[in-house]
Amino acid sequence: MIKTLTNLFKQDKEKFVVPKGVQDVIPVAAIFDDGIFKVGKDKYSKTYRFTDINYAVASREDKEAMFLEYSELLNSLDSGATTKITINNRRLNRLDFEQTILIPTTGDNLDEYREEYNKMLLDKATGANSIVQDKYITISINKKSVEDARTYFARVGADLIAHFGRLGSKCVELETDERLRIFHDFYRVGEESSFHFDIKETRKKGHDFKDYICPDTMEFEKDYFKMGNRYGRVLFLREYASYIKDSMVAELTDMNRNLMMSIDIVPVPTDEAVKEAENRLLGVETNITNWQRRQNANNNFSATVPYDMEQQKKEMKEFLDDLTTRDQRMMFAVITMAITADSKEQLENDTEALLTTARKHLCQFATLRFQQVDGLNTVMPFGTRKIDAFRTLTTESLSVFIPFRVQDIFHENGIYYGQNVISKNMIIADRKQLLNGNSFILGVSGGGKSFAAKGEIINQVLSSDADIIIIDPEREYSQLVNAMGGEVINISATSDNHINAMDMNKDYGDGANPVILKSEFIMSLCEQLIGGTNLGAKQKSIIDRCTASVYRSYQQNDYQGHIPTLQDFRAELLQQDEPEAKELALAIELFTHGSLNTFAKQTNVDTNNRLICYDILDLGKQLMPIGMLVVLDSILNRITQNRAKGKNTFIFIDEIYLLFQHEYSANFLFTLWKRVRKYGAYASGITQNVDDLLQSHTARTMLANSEFIIMLNQASTDRLELAKLLNISDLQMSYITNVEAGHGLIKVGSSLVPFANKFPKNTKLYKLMTTKPGEA
């Protein structure tokens, strides 16, 4: 037998003691403050949790790259230690969920909407798939003392975390209470929220940590076990197919049940493996030679070597080649699986479902007979292995059991965006946690863009104190804004609403003199007012001088009192001696004293409401470019004010392509997109014409710089452009091709996840959010 295995069996040999109580079933001798468990005479284990990556929806090339990187990770495992990879399906802890996701009521008139929204969230959490999948890797090593084990885990842990990082997965070591919680939640299903463990308190009281996690009773039968009033069974993978698909683990763990699956891996040192393989090959060749000698003795000189001997020789040669030339390692693996159910009948049905799934992949699972207790302690991430059903595999054949499937997006204190199509889990994201929280919502008309934007607006209004500003060119948001207690500002030449283009607060300049920034804005405004032609150097100097002059007394009064208007600015121009000043004054007369003077008067709307909607549907062709500039400047004013208060601002710009048609508003938007993050603001652009949008270099850069993108059903030309820009695989493309409203892809940071957002139609919120004719 291979030396590694002999050593392993020697180390794992223990005296069998009949368990006198439930606690004795748990194979942990001692626990330490830093998450290390003692699980044998001289055996210590440590568990790390790692996050999932987008393997199922990746392109073929990406899959191959991930597969090879995962093989690298397996190759890097230490041959002196045993590694256990565990996939744990556990029920969603309702209490935790309610604390982190549900919106607390505040006693204002929006509470009826909060209750409606919370009911929808609870239905989503419990209805579709209330199973959360956690993934762990546990390393156990024989060391003389816990100090030696600590040093070892510090080195190996850093290596593991680096390898997972290269895969795009995040790996973190678990603390003692986090490790104990895994066992508590498995043993005591339904009591997840009652777990409370403090290692210092426990020591002070002299309690045993096992009392906090063990079930009330445990009974072990021939082929199943009973924990409290739940039934469970441990299975192991008995027969492996010669060809296994990489989706097998995902399919086995896809059941909506409490289950655990573990792969125990014992790597063999390469020199030992090669020696073993050479001996086996030599044995096969000797058998062939002896067989030929016997045939020759019978004068049968033309006999061909039997097929099974040929096959053995060929396979042994391949195996040896793998080890010596293809950078493969020899590994021993045991695959075990534990399922639990509420009744014996359900347990039988679930077992049959698992066996069928395995058979589909030409593999055979079998129930452990009279070894259920050993099997259970092997499956759980304690770091022990009591089952010796070893199979010899190479790194590549073990990599097939790849534990990755699809990323779930679940940010602490995030908001709901829909459900992951593959894992059926909720997508809870927080744009504040991204490097750049700006976002785009893209899709064809009727794809659900406005609905997605309104969903986010409602969530922010109900759950945070952030300010929300909407630019609405299609008058789609008025009903929602009014219902939420916001202010709708209609802007047009004939409207009674006025916004002063020269509004300015003392935070406007980002720490510098605000007038300098305002002067730049007024130059852009004047260029627009005189027909979009570039201003000369003389004109720019005059504008700069007049701006400073107009704001002087306002600044001296510490930004209190009368705010200058464009009419004051024109009056200042007329007082200058230069003929250019008179020309400028004449050019802007239409917009100060003429029929388009809506931005030349004092602001008479409540721009301090936390929810503002600028309705620009009636802005004519003449007023559109200047109107957009003034609105964007007003938004900048608000953002800088909020920054000084430490408040977040969310900006939603519908049909954003309209703004890119005018050079100035496009440039202003571009700088806004780059700068708002440091102001604590987050901008969202909504548009259907991706192709049009990408014609503009500015828009293309903005899209590439946005970490949060919701892609709904796309037109064919738009799909191709997006695939190129965001590197979307063909499989992922199918989620934005001819799909129904509210379905698509969501990009959060580096994750790209297919999602579906279905909202219950019989709610008041749905009626506020929908734009379908006949439903609104």
Does residue 336 have a pLDDT over 90?
yes
Does residue 261 have a pLDDT over 80?
yes
The answer to whether 92 and 426 are in contact (CB under 8 A) is: no
Mean per-residue pLDDT, 344-369: 92
Mean per-residue pLDDT, 192-208: 83
The answer to whether 115 and 108 are in contact (CB under 8 A) is: no
Query: How far, in Å, CA of 86 to CA of 337, rounded?
Result: 9
> Under 8 Å CB-to-CB from 305, ≥6 apart: which residues?
288, 291, 292
Q: Tokens at residue 285, please?
A: 């060749």
Query: How far, in Å, CA of 189 to CA of 183, rounded?
Result: 10
Q: Tokens at residue 143, please?
A: 């060391």
Mean per-residue pLDDT, 85-93: 85
- 3-state DSSP call for residue 744? strand
Which pLDDT value is given to residue 517? 74
Query: How far, in Å, CA of 497 to CA of 491, rounded?
Result: 6
Which pLDDT value is given to residue 511? 61
Q: Tokens at residue 374, please?
A: 């050993």
DSSP 214-268: S-S-EEE-SS-EEETTEEEEEEEEEE--SS--TTHHHHHTTSSS-EEEEEEEEE-
Class of domain 502-604: mainly alpha
Task: Give residue-wise pLDDT tens across range 687-729.
Answer: 887 777 777 788 888 887 788 999 988 888 888 888 888 888 8
Query: How far, in Å, CA of 10 to CA of 14, rounded?
Result: 9
Q: Tokens at residue 257, please?
A: 């049940």
| 254-263, 296-305, 584-593, 610-619: the lowest-pLDDT one | 584-593
Which pLDDT value is given to residue 129? 52
Domain residue extents for the chain: 3-92+130-268+329-399, 272-313, 409-487+610-776, 502-604
- CB neighbour class for 493 (10 Å; exposed up to 12, middle 13-18, buried from 19): middle
Q: Tokens at residue 46, please?
A: 């440590």
The one-character DSSP state at 105 is: P
Would you report the helix, strand and coil content of the chain in percent, each value rounded to 5?
A: 45, 20, 35
DSSP 457-478: HHHHHHH---EEEEEESSS-SH
Mean per-residue pLDDT, 316-330: 89
Which pLDDT value is given to residue 141? 93
The sign one gets for the Cα dihedral 537, 542, 543, 548 is: positive
Task: Give residue-wise pLDDT tens across range 157-195.
Answer: 999 999 999 988 889 999 998 999 999 989 988 787 778
Identity of the amino acid at 257: R
β-pairing verdict for 681-687 and 439-442: parallel
Helical (H) or strand (E) element with 110: none
Helical (H) or strand (E) element with 302: none
Which pLDDT value is given to residue 126? 63
Query: How far, in Å, CA of 414 to CA of 648, rounded?
Result: 14
The one-character DSSP state at 410 is: B
Does residue 776 have a pLDDT over 60?
no
- 3-state DSSP call for residue 611? strand
Nearest to 267 by CA among 156, 172, 167, 147: 156
Query: How far, in Å, CA of 224 to CA of 181, rounded?
Result: 24
Distance (Å) of CA 17 to CA 24, 30, 379: 9, 17, 20
For domain 409-487+610-776, give the fold.
Answer: Rossmann fold (3.40.50)
Task: Give residue-wise pLDDT tens across range 280-303.
Answer: 999 999 999 999 999 899 888 888
Does residue 566 have a pLDDT over 70?
yes
Number of residues assigned to the chain: 776
Which pLDDT value is given to residue 130? 65
HEC sequence for 9-51: HHHHCCCCCCCCCHHHHCCCCEECCCCCEECCCCEEEEEEEEC
Task: Give residue-wise pLDDT tens across range 433-443.
Answer: 888 888 999 88
Does residue 307 have a pLDDT over 90?
yes
Which pLDDT value is given to residue 531? 65
The one-character DSSP state at 737 is: S
Which pLDDT value is given to residue 48? 95
Helical (H) or strand (E) element with 147: helix 146-167
Nearest to 531 by CA among 596, 622, 597, 600: 622
Q: Which residue has the higher pLDDT, 598 or 74?
A: 74
> Under 8 Å CB-to-CB from 352, ≥6 apart: which residues?
none
Query: How far, in Å, CA of 711 to CA of 57, rounded?
Result: 15
Which pLDDT value is given to residue 150? 92
Which pLDDT value is given to residue 94? 67
Which pLDDT value is given to residue 338? 94
Which pLDDT value is given to residue 147? 93
Mean per-residue pLDDT, 619-629: 75
Query: How far, in Å, CA of 776 to CA of 771, rounded?
Result: 6
- Unique residue bearing structure tokens 């005018």: 662
Which pLDDT value is given to residue 710? 92
Question: Which residues are 753's β-sheet partners?
Answer: 746
- Unique residue bearing structure tokens 């659900």: 448
Q: How many CB atoms lie within 10 A of CB 286?
A: 10
Instruction: For residue 237, name the pLDDT band (cuts at 50, 70, 90).
Output: very high
Which pLDDT value is given to residue 560? 78
Q: Residue 59: CA atoms inside 13 Å, Cβ hemisphere, count?
A: 9
Q: Which residue has the higher pLDDT, 342 or 536?
A: 342
Nearest to 742 by CA among 423, 449, 455: 449
